[in-house]
A and B are shown apart, each in its own frame.
Chain A
Amino acid sequence: MIPEPFEYHIPKNLEEASRLLAQFGGEGKILAGGHSLVPMMKLRLAAPKHLIDLGRLTDLKYIRESDGRIEIGALTTHFQIQSSSLLKEKCPLLPETAREIGDVQVRNKGTIGGSLAHSDPAADWPAAILALAGEIQARNVSSSRWIPASEFFVDLLTTALGGDEVLTAIRVPVAPPRSGHAYLKLHHPASGYAMVGVAAQVLLNEARHIESASVGVTGVGPKAYRATAVEEALRGKAPSRQNLEAAAAHAAEGIDVNSDLYASAEYRSHLAQVYTRRALEKALERAHGK
């Protein structure tokens, strides 16, 4: 499989990358790990005239903690996140999500920034970043802004990034005490993408009831989403099986559910409910363990 020809650019820094992106307009595309973009180029579903490779900007590969938040550089690979001891301690939902992505080789090259910017409707990161109420940094030549995850995913393969903006970092709050997390996924049997993926974080109050829950769902609709009706239904509730089940029933509420050869919309909605309940159960179990 041979992609269409393109011109290849290696910017020396982020400023140059933003400048090139602005200069090429719709004909330029950023290359990070390339594990979403290159397959699309091989199938000729994407044919950018200019490829701007950030691969050599190693200062975009980092994981650090400051002011109660974790910040991750856009070029950090899934494997680096999966194996980060800082994250395992401070934000374990991220390594748990990372290990479910693709396979070893994909995780060695694929990056969190690339995956989020691509916004595949069945990618894993969007669910986790939504559940953590993360923010995504976008920069162009003259300015930089943080976009809340809840506003970042706009539609199928479409994000809030402007045509001249480069995704440069992600930040999420450190997991609070008395919280628990889980990412549960049903793998597509061939591609490994999520048929359904649910990321959950729950916070318990002193009475060990649910203070708040946040649930990110991927694979179900045209874009990943926060299951707000599930979250509302759990606020202040005792973590009983009955309450979890009743809340999880709202997992695909108001969503235009995907239907394909592997799962009808009806089946997928059911999966979303089951995986939401299981993810909540696992997250609660972990919160209680603390």
Chain B
Amino acid sequence: MKIQTKINGHLREDEVEPRLLLVHYLRDVAGLTGTHIGCETSLCGACTVLLNGEAVKSCTLFAVQADGGEITTIEALGNHEKLHPLQEGFWEEHGLQCGFCTPGMILAAYQLLCRNPHPSREEIRKGLEGNLCRCTGYQHIVKAIEYAAQKIGSPDA
């Protein structure tokens, strides 16, 4: 089936099998390997991307369901010259160790800050309930998101 998507601002048209999962479409067809495959059972959140502005687990959607949609992956959030405040927060606050969960964490956090720009620590934890990290113990991830919220909220951001 032919699908059209806009990934990180770029329009694409691809012929895909209906059973192709969105995460495989992003990684294997579009070549964007920043989105990770973790548990593949909708639990770990490593494959989180934004579909039409909403955080989704790309292992639990077929690519055909995203036909006509806009997708944002970790690759579009910032670049080496200018990190997104969330990426900067994870860097500054040591929000990662192995880094496998990080792309999903950052996109889930992006969603959280869109809906609630000044979350409390408890709200940050609730906002990340769909993302698992096996290294950090979450403490530094929460701090990283607090850093980003503050930076985004400050006038010189």
Which chain A residues have a beta carbon within 8 Å of chain B's beta carbons?
1-8, 31, 34-35, 38-39, 41-43, 51, 53, 55, 79, 102-106, 108-109, 190-192
Contacts and interface: CB of A to CB of B under 8 A. Distances in A.
B48 A105 contact: yes
Contacts of B42: 35, 38-39, 102, 106
A104 B61 contact: no
Contacts of B60: 34-35, 38-39, 106, 109
B18 A7 contact: yes
A45 to B, nearest CB: 12
A114 to B, nearest CB: 12
Contacts of A34: 60-62, 65
B40 interface: yes
A103 B45 contact: yes
Given A39-B41, A42-B41, A109 B56 contact: yes
B127 interface: yes
B43 interface: yes
Interface in B22-76: 40-43, 45, 48, 54-57, 59-62, 64-65
A103 B19 CA distance: 24
A4 to B, nearest CB: 7
Contacts of A106: 42, 57, 60, 130
Contact of A105 (B19, B56, B64): B56
B1 A8 contact: yes
A55 B65 CA distance: 8
Nearest to A187: B129
A101 to B, nearest CB: 11
A104 B55 CA distance: 8
Nearest to B60: A38
Contacts of B127: 104
Nearest to A9: B18
B13 interface: no
Nearest to A83: B115
Given A35-B60, A103-B45, A103-B129, A6 B65 contact: no
Contacts of B106: none
Given A42-B40, A105-B108, A4 B19 contact: yes
B65 A53 contact: yes
A109 B61 contact: yes
Top 7 closest pairs, chain A to chain B, by CB: A103-B130, A8-B18, A108-B54, A103-B129, A105-B130, A105-B57, A1-B40
Highest count of chain A CB atoms <10 Å: which of B21, B111, B112, B130: B130
B92 interface: no
Given A2-B19, A190-B43, A102 B130 contact: yes
